[in-house]
Structure 1
Amino acid sequence: MHVLRPVNRIHRPRVAPLGAGAVIRTLLALFVLGALALPVLAEPGRLRMRGDVTARGDVLTLGDLVEGASAEAARQSLFRAPALGATGTIQAQRIADAVARLGLGEVETGGRVQVAVLRAARRVGAAEIEAAIKRALESGYGIEGRNLALRIDGETPVLLAPIDLDGQANAVDLAYDPRLKRVAALIVLGDRQASLRVTGQIVEMREVAVLGRSLNRGEAIAPADIAVERRPREAVPADAQPSAAILVGQMAQRSLSAGSVLRSGDVAPPDLVSRGEAVTLVFDSPGLNLSLRGLANEGGRLGATVSVTNPISKKVVSGTVIGPGRVSVGPAAPVRQASAALETTVR
């Protein structure tokens, strides 16, 4: 028989609350530790090399190439930037050596071997150059530039300028030969801070209607079938159609290919009277209005002269097409002739 033993309870000591002195001592210790750590925390982290950069000026500073530097250090000039619009490279080791010479320690390269640098530039292309020369021709020679184009000699010119050099390009020192239609000018930005000399040929342009798709004979032209283009006047026929609006609804008089310039004989208004069609033959005069049904002997468009037969008397009379299915025989025709042809019907 086992003897039961009493359970000895363990009495845990009570935790006494901290007094005011202990709290003050704790706070003081934390303050001292924080003060000691502040120089370490305040010390900037290691400098980090940027990736590929774009330079806006002639010189690359530390801040252009490296992150984490102070404002004063970031203004330090390190390398010359590439030429306007050009791209160059800087070896990462050269950047690290430059940082070390400034006493800023090491720089994290992020595994980069080199950094590509693009020099930002404003590009003045052929369109701006042409506009500048046209303005100079208008002001200096009174030549309207709206119907002119400039064919610049050589390769397409580009004037490169600093990115902050704004304002429009201007043509100065312009010389123009009206006989040969040759022009030469200096294209400048600002107070000649950037310049480029160009020469070229002035070409007179003309607006013409061009077909956007092929048409078969007798097919009507829709608005989407025509585009107006500017082409050299010397390269288009004299009877080229200048407007697209008047051509819409007209009929192709022959097969026309896409891209062709429309000429006056290529299209015509649709016939308002067809051969064999029953038409209304009319005579209008002050105090007299006559009409009779007839049979058209030929087709014709608005304003065309066609012959019409009276199906009863078999008489033939000529008249002018004035609308769909309507032919007029007056008032130019003699009243007596019109009356006989129409077998006088007074309304």
Structure 2
Amino acid sequence: MIAMRFRTATIVVLAGLGLAVPVMAAAEPVATSVLSHAVARGDILAATDFEAQPRPPGYAIGAIAPDVAAGREAARNLVAGAVVRAGDVVAPRLVRRGDPVTINLRSRGLVIATTGRALSAGGMGDLVRVVAQSTNRTFDATVEGSGAVHVPLP
């Protein structure tokens, strides 16, 4: 059994005779990358948004490095001093729900472009739902750039 509170851990060692002996062990703080300021949902993170602060070892579990988080979008509001984990960031959204988009339909050498509206959000390569303004038809399309999606034709 391990119970951690601040900088100490109580470890119960079970002896072969059925005895439980509590042992105290200190958990030294480690330098952990945390946010230097609050970040709003949808903001793009940069390596300069982070600073190293001493934290208990368990606090850093699952933390991602500042260079990994750089260029990614905050999936939710993040407070100053928070450790950023993989679930806190997503690929930057190039298409947002309700945004106008250019829908490119491609088949062999033929390309047809029309305008539409995004019904969901997505980053590069993500599958999103879009509706064409001219026909009011709904398509599954792949995000290929900022405000641009493509629908492959057979």
Q: Mapping of 1:1-347 within 5 angstroms?
A: 209-227=33-51, 234-237=58-61, 239-242=62-65, 244-330=66-152, 334-335=153-154
Are the counterparts in 1 of residues 96 and 118 from structure 2 also a CA contact under 8 Å?
yes
Q: CA deviation at 1:225?
A: 0.9
Q: Take 1:271 and 1:230, find their aligned partners in 2: how far apart are those partners?
A: 33
User: TM-score, with normalisation over the residues of structure 2?
Assistant: 0.65
Are the counterparts in 2 of residues 279 and 293 from structure 1 also a CA contact under 8 Å?
yes
Q: Give the counterpart letter for 2:34 in structure 1.
A: V
Greater length-normalized contact order (CA 8 Å, ≥ 6 residues apart): 2
Q: Take 1:283 and 1:223, find their aligned partners in 2: how far apart are those partners?
A: 38
Q: Which residue of 1 aligns with 2:11?
A: none
1:34-77 deviation per Cα after TM superposition (whole angstroms, max 9, x unaligned): xxxxxxxxxxxxxxxxxxxxxxxxxxxxxxxxxxxxxxxxxxxx
Are the counterparts in 1 of residues 103 and 132 from structure 2 also a CA contact under 8 Å?
no
1:120-155 deviation per Cα after TM superposition (whole angstroms, max 9, x unaligned): xxxxxxxxxxxxxxxxxxxxxxxxxxxxxxxxxxxx
Helix, strand or coil for the counterpart of 2:87?
coil
Q: Take 1:286 and 1:230, find their aligned partners in 2: how far apart are those partners?
A: 57
Higher strand share: 2
> Cα distance 1:229–1:269, how it changes in 2: closer, same or farther (>3 A)?
farther
Q: Give the counterpart letter for 1:210 in structure 2.
A: V
Structure 2: give runs of 5+ residues left out of the alignment: 1-25
Q: In the comparison of the two structures, how many residue pairs are matched?
A: 127
Q: CA deviation at 1:253?
A: 2.3
Q: Which residue of 1 aligns with 2:15?
A: none
> Cα distance 1:277–1:254, how it changes in 2: closer, same or farther (>3 A)?
closer
1:281-336 deviation per Cα after TM superposition (whole angstroms, max 9, x unaligned): 12345433332222212222223221111112111101111210011222xxx42x
Are the counterparts in 1 of residues 35 and 50 from structure 2 also a CA contact under 8 Å?
yes
Q: Take 1:288 and 1:228, find their aligned partners in 2: how far apart are those partners?
A: 53
Q: Take 1:223 and 1:213, find their aligned partners in 2: how far apart are those partners?
A: 12
Are the counterparts in 2 of residues 212 and 258 from structure 1 also a CA contact under 8 Å?
yes
User: TM-score, with normalisation over the residues of structure 1?
Assistant: 0.32
Q: Take 2:82 and 2:113, find their aligned partners in 1: how far apart are those partners?
A: 44
Q: Take 1:324 and 1:224, find their aligned partners in 2: how far apart are those partners?
A: 25
Q: Take 1:224 and 1:314, find their aligned partners in 2: how far apart are those partners?
A: 44
Helix, strand or coil for the counterpart of 1:308?
strand
Q: Give the counterpart letter for 2:133 in structure 1.
A: P
Higher helix share: 1
Q: Give the counterpart letter for 2:43 in structure 1.
A: E
1:256-291 deviation per Cα after TM superposition (whole angstroms, max 9, x unaligned): 222221101112233211222221112345433332
Percent of residue pairs identical = 33
Bigger radius of gyration = 1
